[in-house]
A and B are shown apart, each in its own frame.
Chain A
């Protein structure tokens, strides 16, 4: 064994290994769990003109220990739920259809990459990830440049004589979904690719050999075996897509209010941190439902799909 590996082994002995695990754990606790708890705490406070703009949840004053715990913010959301259900619905709808479109594009792409020869695979994977290496904001502005009334696409179409007046593409569903799919597609391709590249050719040939049509092979063998990738990719796209703020704000119209925009307004315009925190917590609760469901499905994954008695 090379010397540096021996050294590492010595450092990462029984205690060392625990230390290695502890570092990311501490990191997660500091930068993920603590802010989350802080948000939860803020959601139980009352807004006021101060820095920070909310009353402390507990503390000491002349009368001694006091608490200011309140459920008013949640009550507010419950009372004015009609004001929030629209944006929440818009966000979930956007996330859902973005996930669906990503899945439709990514599945054949991932399959094609996974079935290419090894040298090509590396190139194609880099191409998939390449957009990630540029700022997402830059990509969206580039898209605006393409879709604008006097942008590249309209100019091209007019020059070709296909249309006379510029088409309206910006601030439509089309532009939002363009932005969403362009941004999130790699997150769908990568987990799909990971399961597809491990898929055994022999299993596909065995199904063909046993009389399955190409659709039959896909439905009975390839789809069930790539389902974990479909679930993982869908979660990776859906969850950040629900909270997406930048893309709808830059590419969408003013008529469609998204949850991200509502949060932004509550935080920065109304300076009502407690209500914003309550919205965030509620959104989190809504988002964890699909995760828990997916994990539950994962556990059931072991059940068979093609038993003689089961329907298919």
Chain B
């Protein structure tokens, strides 16, 4: 069986500028997929092609087995929740939510009933008579969601759904969004530049750069096993070390990067083949995988460092430390003991990390 949504070799050019470049992607029914990328990476163009506002230069879009070529936006089983919500300011909440239903010819009691059910779904029962401008930002977002869900689309596109909300509200809203998506079983595609939004919402994330999908995986895989340097750098903080393989055993590599670093082989899922001796590689280590101590512990990867910079965040502290030959590491230390005396700016210490936590990038 073909997947629910299938994009095949999708390309969009604006004159000579390639916005979406030979992109193929399958999404299963009921998935919450997230397209993550910096602004200008082509994700908005992809969204507009799915909605039908832009025609692909090449390639096909299939939804539930139906080719979308030549299908007008109004006739597609796709609805959008716009970034700024795009509510109709001259209509009531009920008018907004019922707009798509009225266009489909629904009237009278059936319409009123359906609107009530949708408003209940987004916890806005009783708000039907209000105008959009009488609502808070969070309420407006929920009206936009109800309006987009009203026609029971096969695919709901959400353009930066949480961007317009303040930080506190976002946390509640993102769980609510996931909850509604799970209850309805509608396929959601969230488009965002915000990695936190993507990580918390999506089951699967596609990272986009320059019109191409760089990696499509679960949030955890993307974070722990990035395919390349772009993905590793894009998601969260990370430290990179360049070096040459000096010893390639079956379980571990030793990379000469003054001081030598040992990396476990069995953890390198992103790597196509094992690097040979003498190969040039990039190592990457996440900050929370590195520990910092004042005295040497005799660990496998232990490097003497000097604290360059430190930021106290309450829950944790972010450090930037420097080795004798100038290599920088970013690391994060949990504030697990109130009484412990942390290393301060300019202090000398040691960092340690497990060979299994070292990511080898091609």
> Interface on A for B, CB 8 Å cutoff?
200, 202-203, 205-213, 216, 220-221, 224-225, 301-302, 304-309, 312
Residue of chain B at shortest CB distance from A224: B90
B131 CB within 8 Å of chain A: yes
Known A-B contacts A209-B51, A210-B151, A211-B151; the reply to A305 vs B90 at CB < 8 A is yes
What's the Cα separation between A225 and B92 when bound, in Å?
14
Contact A208 B82 (CB under 8 A): no
Q: How many residues of B contact A (CB 8 A)?
A: 34
Contact A206 B82 (CB under 8 A): yes
Within 8 A of A (CB), among B40-83: 51, 53, 73-75, 78-80, 82-83
Chain A residues whose C-beta falls within 8 Å of the C-beta of B94 in the assembled complex: 307-308
B147 CB within 8 Å of chain A: yes
B88 CB within 8 Å of chain A: yes
| Distance between B168 CB and nearest chain A CB, rounded to angstroms | 26
Contact B91 A304 (CB under 8 A): yes
| Interface 0/1 of B94-107, CB less than 8 Å to A | 11001110111000
Chain B residues whose C-beta falls within 8 Å of the C-beta of A304 in the assembled complex: 90-92, 95, 131
B189 CB within 8 Å of chain A: no
Contact A302 B88 (CB under 8 A): no
> Interface on B for A, CB 8 Å cutoff?
51, 53, 73-75, 78-80, 82-84, 86-92, 94-95, 98-100, 102-104, 111-112, 115, 129, 131, 147, 150-151
Contact B74 A213 (CB under 8 A): yes
| Distance between A226 CB and nearest chain B CB, rounded to angstroms | 10
Contact A205 B53 (CB under 8 A): yes
Residue of chain A at shortest CB distance from B83: A202
Contact B88 A209 (CB under 8 A): no
Contact B74 A209 (CB under 8 A): yes
Chain B residues whose C-beta falls within 8 Å of the C-beta of A209 in the assembled complex: 51, 73-74, 78-80
Chain A residues whose C-beta falls within 8 Å of the C-beta of B84 in the assembled complex: 200, 202
What's the Cα separation between A173 and B87 when bound, in Å?
45
Residue of chain B at shortest CB distance from A306: B95
Q: 20 other contacts beyond A211-B75, A305-B90, with CB at 8 A cut-off?
A: A202-B86, A203-B86, A206-B82, A206-B88, A206-B147, A207-B99, A209-B78, A210-B99, A211-B74, A211-B100, A211-B151, A212-B74, A212-B103, A220-B88, A225-B90, A304-B92, A304-B95, A305-B95, A306-B98, A307-B94
Contact B99 A220 (CB under 8 A): yes
Chain A residues whose C-beta falls within 8 Å of the C-beta of B112 in the assembled complex: 308-309
Chain B residues whose C-beta falls within 8 Å of the C-beta of A200 in the assembled complex: 84, 86
Known A-B contacts A203-B86, A216-B103; the reply to A308 vs B98 at CB < 8 A is yes
Residue of chain A at shortest CB distance from B159: A202
Chain B residues whose C-beta falls within 8 Å of the C-beta of A205 in the assembled complex: 51, 53, 73, 80, 82, 86
What's the Cα separation between A307 and B78 when bound, in Å?
24
| Distance between B115 CB and nearest chain A CB, rounded to angstroms | 6
| Distance between A123 CB and nearest chain B CB, rounded to angstroms | 23
Question: What are 21 contact pairs spanning A and B, CB under 8 A?
Answer: A202-B86, A205-B51, A205-B82, A205-B86, A206-B147, A208-B73, A208-B74, A209-B79, A210-B100, A211-B103, A212-B103, A225-B90, A304-B90, A304-B92, A306-B99, A307-B92, A307-B129, A308-B94, A308-B95, A308-B115, A312-B102
| Distance between A213 CB and nearest chain B CB, rounded to angstroms | 7
Known A-B contacts A307-B95, A308-B115; the reply to A210 vs B90 at CB < 8 A is no
Contact A225 B89 (CB under 8 A): yes
Chain A residues whose C-beta falls within 8 Å of the C-beta of B87 in the assembled complex: 203, 206
Residue of chain B at shortest CB distance from A304: B92
Residue of chain B at shortest CB distance from A205: B53
- 7 cross-chain pairs, A with B, having the tightest CB-CB distances, nearest first: A210-B100, A202-B86, A306-B95, A211-B103, A206-B86, A304-B92, A306-B91
Residue of chain A at shortest CB distance from B109: A308
Residue of chain B at shortest CB distance from A208: B73
Residue of chain A at shortest CB distance from B130: A304
Chain B residues whose C-beta falls within 8 Å of the C-beta of A208 in the assembled complex: 53, 73-74
Chain B residues whose C-beta falls within 8 Å of the C-beta of A211 in the assembled complex: 74-75, 100, 103-104, 151
Residue of chain B at shortest CB distance from A225: B90
Contact A202 B100 (CB under 8 A): no
Quick one: which of A210, A220, A301, A306 has the most chain B CB within 10 A?
A: A210
Contact A306 B82 (CB under 8 A): no
Chain A residues whose C-beta falls within 8 Å of the C-beta of B131 in the assembled complex: 302, 304
Residue B111 contacts which of A212, A225, A308 (CB distance < 8 angstroms)?
A: A308
What's the Cα separation between A208 and B111 when bound, in Å?
20
Known A-B contacts A209-B51, A210-B79; the reply to A306 vs B86 at CB < 8 A is no
Chain A residues whose C-beta falls within 8 Å of the C-beta of B92 in the assembled complex: 304, 306-307
| Distance between A140 CB and nearest chain B CB, rounded to angstroms | 40
Contact A306 B74 (CB under 8 A): no
What's the Cα separation between A221 and B89 when bound, in Å?
9
Chain B residues whose C-beta falls within 8 Å of the C-beta of A307 in the assembled complex: 91-92, 94-95, 129
Chain B residues whose C-beta falls within 8 Å of the C-beta of A301 in the assembled complex: 90
Chain B residues whose C-beta falls within 8 Å of the C-beta of A224 in the assembled complex: 90
| Distance between B268 CB and nearest chain A CB, rounded to angstroms | 44
Quick one: which of B86, B87, B100, B131 has the most chain A CB within 10 A?
A: B86
What's the Cα separation between A221 and B102 when bound, in Å?
13
Residue of chain B at shortest CB distance from A210: B100
Quick one: which of A301, A304, A308 has the most chain B CB within 10 A?
A: A308
What's the Cα separation between A307 and B102 when bound, in Å?
10
Chain B residues whose C-beta falls within 8 Å of the C-beta of A213 in the assembled complex: 74
Chain B residues whose C-beta falls within 8 Å of the C-beta of A202 in the assembled complex: 82-84, 86
Known A-B contacts A211-B104, A213-B74, A220-B99; the reply to A305 vs B91 at CB < 8 A is yes
| Distance between A303 CB and nearest chain B CB, rounded to angstroms | 9
